[in-house]
Structure 1
Amino acid sequence: MHRPFRLALAALSLTLVGLAAPGTAAAQSALDFGGTYTADVLSALDGSPDRGTDLVGRADAWVDFKGPAAGLDSLAAHLDLIAVHGPDFSGRRIGVYQTISSLEADTLPHVYEAWAQWKPSALVSAKAGLIDLNAEFDIQNTGALFVNSAFGIGPDISQSGLAGPSIFPMTAAALVVRVQHGRKALGLGVFDALAGARHDPRKAALRFPGTTGALLIAEARVPVGTWLLQLGGWHYTTRFDALDPARPPALSRGVYAMLEGAVTRKVSAWVRIGGADARANPIAAYLGGGAVATLGEWRLGLAAAHARLGHAGRTVLAAPDRAHRAETVLELTAQRPVASWLNIQPDLQYVIHPGWAPGAPDTLVAGLRFSFAIPDS
C-alpha cells in the first residue's frame, strides 16, 4: 500500500476515533461496525471444457460514522476493508466474458472504500474519497439478487478502462455530487481513470481524481409513474489504444438507460440497455433485464444478459468469419433466509456462445451462494 494512502487512511481512522472519543452514549452510537462474508460454490456442468467445482468468496469489514449522533448533522463517513479468495472459475472453466459470480476477482486484501460525505441539506450532497462507482451510478436494485456480475453493473461500463473502472474489486479516488428532490435526482462523478496502483492493479492506491486521467459520469433519475428511469453517460478524458492496432488511439465512452419498478405487489422487474464506443471496447451494445417475485420467505428471480461485440472486437478478438456476435447468459435463482444472519441461494446459469468463441459449447453452471452478516439485519 502506498505511503500517502496509508497516511490518508490513518487520518480518517483517527478522525473517526476522535469524534467518538468522549465516551458518551451519543458519541459511542456515532460508530457502527459490521462484517459480511459471501461465498459461491460453483459447478461447471454440461458443455464446459473443464468440468469441476470451485469456491469463491468475499469478506468485508466496515465501520460507518454517523455525524448526527455526534452533533455533526451534515457529515458521514465510511470505511470498508475487503479480502477475496478463489480461482478464475469463469475464465478457466467456461471462457465466459460476463463473469459467472460477482465475487470473482484477482486482488489482494485492501481498503475498498474510504470516503466522507457532506450533506448540508436534503437537496444536495457531496462525497469524496475511494468510492465504488456502482454504489452511486447504474444501480440495479432488483438485479442485485442475481449472482452473475452483469446484473450488478452493465458490462458496457465494467469493461472500460485499463483495469476496469472504480468498481469491485478495486476503487479509485473520486468526487461525487448529487442533487435530489423526492425521486428525481441528478448525479455527477469525477473518478480517477485508473483503479488501483499503477505498478499492480491488485493493490489499492489513493490519488487525486484525474491524476491518471479522469472518468466522468452523469446520471439522471426520473420517475415514470411508479417506476424509475435512469439515464446515464460516461466518458474518459484520455484516449486508449484502439482494439484494431492499425487505428489511432480512441476515446472510451458510452451511454445507458434503465427502467425499474413494481409489476405487482410481489413482483418487481427491470430492463437495461447500454452502448460503448466499439473502437476501444469489445462490447458495443448490451441488453439485460429480468424479474424477481417474493413467495413467502423465498425471492425467486429470472434474468437475461445479452452482450454484443462491436466490429473491432469481432475482427481483432475473434475470427470475424466464424465468431458469434453475442454472448447471452440466462440465470434462474432463489434466495431465502435460514437465520437472521444467514441467507442461502441456489442458482442456475446457462451460457450461450461463451466468450463469443466459434465452436465453444453452450454451458450449464449450478451454484449455491451463502451470505453471512454481522450484525444480522
Structure 2
Amino acid sequence: MTLLRVSAIGLFLGGLALSSIGISKVQAQEFFVEYSGDLLKNTSGGNKRASEYVDILYLSVDDQYQLSKNLNIVAHASALYSNGAGFSANIVGDDQVVSNLETGDSLTKLAEAWLRLEGNKWSLLAGLYDINRDFDVLDSAELFFNSSHGIGPDIGLSGGNGPSIFPFYGLGVSGFYQVNEQHSLRFSVTDGLPGDPERPSSIAAKLESGDGAFSIVEWAYKNEDQTWLVGYWQYTVSEPLSALLSSRAITDLNKGYYLRHQRSIGNSRVFFRLGTADSSFNKYDRFMGAGISFESPFSERSEDSWGFAFAYARIGQEAKINAELEGEVLEKGELNVEFTYAYSVNEYIALQPNIQLIKNAGARNIPSSTVLGIRLTLSM
C-alpha cells in the first residue's frame, strides 16, 4: 500500500468522523499530482564534466471542513519520490544546489501530514510541516532552479540536518495572524533535527530532547504591487563548527535574520534577498540574491515566463580558519548566475530550458562550471 493511499485513507476516515458529529465539508477532496525532471549537463569546470537526470514525483491530498461559521479545519497529506541523483553533490560540487529537485538520496516517503485550524484572521497548524511552504517565499523567485531562491542557504544549510524543509520534515506547530489588510505575522516551532539522513525514506517523526527546537518568526507587508518579508530564526541546540568554540556555544545560539522584497513593474517582477547566519555555527554567514522575472513575454505566449537571477553565499570566518587548519584555502564565497525560460505546452505540460554559471563551487578555487539544463513538468 503506497504512502499516498495510506494518507488518503486517513483523511477519508477522519472526514467520516467529522461528518458523524455534524461538521460539514467545505469543498470536495482535492488531489494533486506533479512530476518534474531535470536533465542537466555540466559542460565545464566543477568536479567533472558529466550529465545527470534529477526527478521528483509529488502527490498530495487536501480536505476542508467547517466547524462553525467562522472556523474551518484543513487536513493535508503528501508523499514524494526521488531518484536520488546527486548532480550538485557529485558533478558540480556547489553548496547552493543547481536543481531544487535534488534530494541527495533515493527516497519514497510521506512528506507532510498536518491539520490547520482557520479563523477569520488567524490559523494554527500542527503536524509534519515544511516551513518553506509559508516562510521565506516569494512567487517571483519560484521560477528559478537554484535552491537558494527557494529558501536562503543561510537557513537551508544551517543546523545538524537543516530546518524542517524539503526533503526532511519534522514535527512542529505554526501560527499566522492577519494584523490588518497589509500586515501579517507568522511563527513556527519545529524539531531541531528533522528527518534521518541515514534512512532518507523514513518519516523519522521524533521529538528528542537532545535535538532541541528550531523556531522562526516572519513579518510580512503586502499590497498589490510589492511584498516585504522580515524574518528571524534560531536553534535551541547549536553545534559549533570548531571544537575550539564549544565553550562559547553553551551560551550562544545558532541564529540569523533575512529580508526579502518583491515589486511588480509592468509585466515584470524584481526581487532581492539578504540573509545572515552566525559564522560560529555555519559555513556561510551572509547571503545576497536578486533577480527579475517577466510574465507573458510575447502576446501569443501569455502563459510563458522567463528571467535571470544571481545568488551569492559568503564564507564565514570560522569556516575559513577551520579549512586553513586542514591545509585548504577557501575563496570568499560561491556565486551562481541563472537564466531560464518557462514554456507552457498546455495546462498539464511545461518545458523550461535553463543555463547556470557557478563560480567557486563550494567556495573552492576550482574552474567555473557552466550548466545547461531543461526541466519537464507534468501536473494535474
Normalised by the length of structure 1, the TM-score is: 0.89
Instruction: Kindly provide the amino acid, as one letter, of the partner of residue 371 in structure 2.
Output: V
SS of match in other structure, 1:16 = helix
Query: Does the 8 A contact of 1:302 with 1:330 survive in 2?
Result: yes
Measured after TM superposition, the shift of residue 72 of structure 1 is 9.1
What is the rounded CA distance, in whole Å, between the counterparts of 2:348 and 2:71 in structure 1? 31
Write the mapping of 1:96-135 to structure 2, written as runs, cut at 5 A.
96-105=94-103, 106-121=105-120, 123-135=121-133
Which residue matches 2:316?
310
Measured after TM superposition, the shift of residue 316 of structure 1 is 1.6
2:356 equivalent to 1:349: yes
Residues 287/178 of structure 1: CA separation in 2 closer, same or farther (3 Å cut): same
Instruction: Kindly provide the amino acid, as one letter, of the partner of residue 355 in structure 2.
Output: L
Structure 1 alignment gaps of length 5 or more: 1-6
SS of match in other structure, 1:175 = strand
Query: Does the 8 A contact of 1:97 with 1:355 survive in 2?
Result: yes
What is the rounded CA distance, in whole Å, between the counterparts of 2:207 and 2:47 in structure 1? 44
Which residue matches 1:291?
292
Write the mapping of 1:246-285 to structure 2, written as runs, cut at 5 A.
246-248=244-246, 250=249, 251-264=253-266, 266-285=267-286
SS of match in other structure, 1:344 = strand
Query: Does the 8 A contact of 1:304 with 1:328 survive in 2?
Result: yes
Post-superposition CA distance 1:77-120 (Å, at most 9, x none): 11101111142111211111110000001252111111111012
Measured after TM superposition, the shift of residue 66 of structure 1 is 1.9
Residues 229/38 of structure 1: CA separation in 2 closer, same or farther (3 Å cut): same
What is the rounded CA distance, in whole Å, between the counterparts of 1:244 and 1:197 in structure 2? 23
SS of match in other structure, 1:45 = strand
Which residue matches 2:185?
186
Measured after TM superposition, the shift of residue 62 of structure 1 is 0.9
Query: Does the 8 A contact of 1:299 with 1:336 survive in 2?
Result: yes
Query: Does the 8 A contact of 2:159 with 2:238 survive in 1?
Result: no
Residues 152/198 of structure 1: CA separation in 2 closer, same or farther (3 Å cut): closer
Query: Does the 8 A contact of 2:84 with 2:107 survive in 1?
Result: no
Measured after TM superposition, the shift of residue 209 of structure 1 is 9.0
Query: Does the 8 A contact of 1:163 with 1:201 survive in 2?
Result: no
What is the rounded CA distance, in whole Å, between the counterparts of 2:207 and 2:95 in structure 1? 31
2:152 equivalent to 1:154: yes
SS of match in other structure, 2:211 = coil
Which residue matches 1:52?
50
Residues matched between the structures, number: 362
Residues 168/17 of structure 1: CA separation in 2 closer, same or farther (3 Å cut): farther
Query: Does the 8 A contact of 2:46 with 2:361 survive in 1?
Result: no
Range with bigger deviation, 326-335 or 216-225: 216-225
SS of match in other structure, 1:134 = helix
Residues 92/208 of structure 1: CA separation in 2 closer, same or farther (3 Å cut): closer
2:61 equivalent to 1:63: yes
Which residue of 69, 72, 75 maps to 2:73?
75
Post-superposition CA distance 1:251-288 (Å, at most 9, x none): 21110001112022x00011100000100100000000
Residues 255/189 of structure 1: CA separation in 2 closer, same or farther (3 Å cut): same
Instruction: Kindly provide the amino acid, as one letter, of the partner of residue 338 in structure 1.
Output: V
Residues 283/368 of structure 1: CA separation in 2 closer, same or farther (3 Å cut): same
What is the rounded CA distance, in whole Å, between the counterparts of 1:372 and 1:269 in structure 2? 27
Post-superposition CA distance 1:290-348 (Å, at most 9, x none): 00012032211100000000101112246788421111000000002102101110000
Runs of 4+ in 1 over 6 A off after TM superposition: 7-10, 69-72
SS of match in other structure, 2:203 = coil
What is the rounded CA distance, in whole Å, between the counterparts of 1:286 and 1:210 in structure 2? 31
Residues 8/339 of structure 1: CA separation in 2 closer, same or farther (3 Å cut): closer
Normalised by the length of structure 2, the TM-score is: 0.88
Query: Does the 8 A contact of 1:191 with 1:210 survive in 2?
Result: no
* Same amino acid, percent of matched pairs: 28
SS of match in other structure, 2:14 = helix
Residues 237/28 of structure 1: CA separation in 2 closer, same or farther (3 Å cut): closer
Structure 2 alignment gaps of length 5 or more: 1-5
